[in-house]
Amino acid sequence: MKKTHVLVSMLVLLAFNACQDRDENENLKKEEVHNKIVNVTSHDGRPFSTGSGSAAGKFVSGPGGGVLMQGFYWDVPEGGTWWNVVKDKLTAWSDSGISAVWLPPASKAQNGAYSMGYDPTDYYDFGNFNQNGSVETRFGSRTELEALITKAHAENMQVYADIVINHNSGGQSQANPFTGTNTWTDFSGIASGKFQRSYNDFYKNSYGNNDEGAFGGFPDLCHANPYVQDWLWGRDDSVGKYYKNVMKFDGWRFDYVKGFGPWVVNTWNSNVGGFSVGELWDSNVNTLEWWANNANSSVFDFAAYYKMDEAFDNGNLNVLNDDMMWKRNPYKAVTFVANHDTDIINNKVPAYAYILTHEGYPTIFYRDYEEWLNKERLNNLIWIHNNKATGTTSILYTDNDEYIARRNGYNGNPGLVVYINNSSSWQERWVETNWSSKQIKDFTGHSSWYPTTQGDKYVKIQCPPNSYSIWSLNQ
């Protein structure tokens, strides 16, 4: 949901520093690094999920986990072309190692062909009924949406639907005995004829005055009403089951979950299935973990998001030691650098290097990938994520300017060491790796070193200014 407090980031093109040799005569004491090791041990080291790109262009599962593409931004072009735009990019995304795409709300909303979908009227109108001033949605027709989903599945990619079930819009006025006024809660005339609603399906009503939260003055859907529950997830043609079984969506991004209890998502997941992630806009990791556990769902890691802003924009990499959702439970943490609502991180490429080398399910924002950042660099990070980013995480060194962490590997995969440098000069550190007497290399190409680890697994690595390097076995 577009928020009024969105902070618009500067569109920054980050320069990548050329590789260069450094004098290795400087000896740094290994004890200096060893004494600063912090282990993140709250989980068992299995890969979050599966995924890597194949030479044939179709996404094929691999050891490091999947990568999610947010396949839209706020106010994508009008005119019903967006589904085709995304469909035409799916093969390239799959070839790059993208495992899933998240689409904007697909059903007809109050503003018809002009709406981004967050003011839903008819959950079953995907651009095939003439209502709210148009047949197609802003993004296109039902036929085009179905073609997109079919193409994604042919590329072995999943498709996640953005689901807005906190509120509705576009109903007609009716007398409401619970408010003593007229309210815009008459949805009896929706074109699909499915999930017709009236005043008793919205707060306040016979079930109470309110739930956890309302948004923007829109009619607030009452999930306590068994009729609403039945149409959202219960009956065979409920919204959830129709999206999954007829439209073939594979999962859900739940909008504004602050507006209703986590039991709603939990019950949806139990009845419908599929991947799910909630938009709980809160930087408190305790709140995120509480919601994820009670919803039986992943949650966007806003705790990591705000820490990355402080780390990469304000020059304080020490805050990456702080608690985040991916450290609590990486299997329920979806990490991101920007999205359609909020884009406050200016120094984005190191932030992507962070989320694509650490645990959790990383998300790529469409405009970052297709318009604003260096696509080759992002593809390189996606490849590293899919092929090297396995196992638990150990933070090896931090100060204001430097951050070094190790992925400890899993099931024969060697893992990696990531080095992020916010300073204006090359930096070098001795670090403890996963590997004894092995040659390693920087898979980003930023360093031309090919050092060999000592018998005790220590090695000196380097990182260019205002950039990052990512090290693993030279194989």
What's 104's DSSP letter?
P
* pLDDT at residue 111, rounded to an integer: 98
pLDDT at position 1 is 58
Which stretches of the chain score pLDDT less than 50?
A: 2-55
pLDDT in tens, 315-371: 999 999 999 999 999 999 999 999 999 999 999 999 999 999 999 999 999 999 999
Q: 114: which 2 tokens?
A: 């002009």
Q: Is the bond into 204 cis (omega within 30 degrees of 0)? A: yes
Give the pLDDT confidence score for residue 61 in this predicted structure.
Answer: 74
> What is this structure's pTM?
0.89
What's residue 14's pLDDT?
34
pLDDT of residue 6: 33
Place of tokens 């735009």: 85
Cα–Cα distance measured from residue 286 to residue 461, given in angstroms and rounded to the nearest whole number: 35
Domain residue extents for the chain: 49-389
How far apart (Å, rounded) are the C-alpha atoms in residues 325 and 308?
13
Q: Tell me the HSE value of 325 on the side-chain side, using a 13 A CA sphere.
A: 37
Instruction: Identify the CATH homologous superfamily for domain 49-389.
Output: Glycosidases (3.20.20.80)
Q: How far is CA 25 from CA 152, 428, 454, 455, 460, in A?
A: 52, 11, 16, 20, 11
Question: What is the C-alpha to C-alpha distance for residues 143 and 140, in angstroms, rounded to an integer?
Answer: 8
**Between the CA of residue 332 and those of 41, 278, 329, what are the distances in Å?**
16, 10, 6
Count of other CB atoms within 10 angstroms of residue 55? 7
